[in-house]
Amino acid sequence: MSVVHPFPVRSDRKAVTTFERGELQRILDLYGRMVAAGHWRDYAMHFSPDVASFAAFRRSAERPEVRIEKRPSLRLKQGLWALVSEQGAVLKRGHELPPVLAPLERRLMRLVEE
């Protein structure tokens, strides 16, 4: 008979920070509406042990116009969520996602009205 060997598990790897299904649904809903308004054209996601990031681009060759970041290490301090501008300045920070996305929602309303 054959011998079954256990699969090696690396314990030195840290868990990767990701978006939950509802969070990603909310972010992609906003992205879809901004694409429909003709403002955004591309996006990128980055996942690391420290941060999960969603970046929205006007054009894919440029820097991202905004980044939505989830940082679990800041959960008890400044808030889990951050909205970061193209220049790297934090526009809004909070413990919940909808208030952090509010400035982008307002900009979307302005784009539709024009």
Tens of each residue's pLDDT in the chain, 114 residues: 688 888 777 666 677 888 889 999 999 999 998 888 888 888 999 998 889 999 999 876 778 889 999 988 877 888 889 999 888 888 889 899 999 999 888 877 755 555
Count of C-beta atoms within a 10 Å radius of residue 53 = 19
Q: Where are the alpha helices (DSSP H) in 9-51?
A: 21-36
Predicted TM-score (pTM) of this structure: 0.79
Give yes or no for a contact between 55 and 40, defined as CB atoms under 8 angstroms apart.
Answer: no
Give yes or no for a contact between 79 and 94, defined as CB atoms under 8 angstroms apart.
Answer: yes
Distance from chain centroid for Cα 105: 15
DSSP, collapsed to helix, strand or coil, labels residue 66 as strand
